[in-house]
Amino acid sequence: MIVIPAIDLRGGRAVRLVRGNPAEETEYSADPVEVAERFQEEGARRLHVVDLDAALEQGSNTDVVKAICHAVAIPVQVGGGIRSLESIGAMLEQGAARAILGTAAAATDAAFVARAVEEFAEHVVVSLDVRGGHLMTHHPTFGLTDVFAATIPSVAFAPGVHVNYAETVLPMKDGLPKLRDFPKELGGSGEAMVE
C-alpha cells in the first residue's frame, strides 16, 4: 500500500474542510508549495492535490497547482473541476502526472470517462466517493445526491485505470463525531462510532 499525502487548495492556501463543508475550513498553510516540498522530504512517493475552488466552481488555483508540480520531483495527481478532455490536457501540461476525475463525472457520464482513458490512459484517475455502498455525486452539505453504484458498469476495469475507492471512516482523532453511514435526518442509521 502507498500512502499518498493530500493537499487541498482554497484561495491559494492549504486547507481542510470539516466533512467537506466549505463554510468550515481550517487553514494549514499559506504556502502549499512548501507543504508539498516537506511531504517530498519526508518520503512521500506521490502527492494528491485537490483544487477545491475549481471543484466548487468558485475560481481556481491553477498557478499554485503548477508551482507544486514544478517544485517537487515526485508525481502529483490533481483533481477538482476536471470535467472535460481539454481540462485533463491542461492539467497534464501544467506538470501533473495524473488528472483526477471525480464521482460526478464518473457517475453522470461514463462515455466521458471512457474517452478520457482512451486518450490519456494511465494519466487519468477516477476517484469515487462512496457511502453506505452508494456513489455520492455531491457531498451531503451540497444537497445529497445518491447514485447507486451499478450506474457505471460500462466503465470496464483496465490496468491503466487507477481507482481510488474509500468507504471507511478514517481513524482520525479530531473531535468530530464519526458516523457509520449518514445522520438519521439524511436517511442513514445515525449510528456513532468510537473515535
63 catalytic? Reply is no
**Residue whose C-alpha cell reads 451499478 in the numeric block:** 150
Other Cβ atoms within 10 Å of 11 Cβ, number: 14
Helices 32-41, 62-71: inter-axial angle, 10-degree rounding: 30
Options 8, 31, 63, 146, the catalytic residue: 8
**Grid-cell match 466503465, residue found:** 155
Q: Is residue 76 within 8 Å of 95, Cβ to Cβ?
A: yes
- List the catalytic residue out of 129, 146, 174, 181: 129
Residue type, 162: H
CA distance 35 to 169: 25
8 is catalytic: yes
From the DSSP assignment, how many helices (H) and strands (E) are in the chain? 6, 12
CB 147 within 8 A of CB 183: no
Identify whether the C-beta of residue 125 lies closer than 8 Å to the C-beta of residue 80: no
Please identify every residue annotated as catalytic: 8, 129
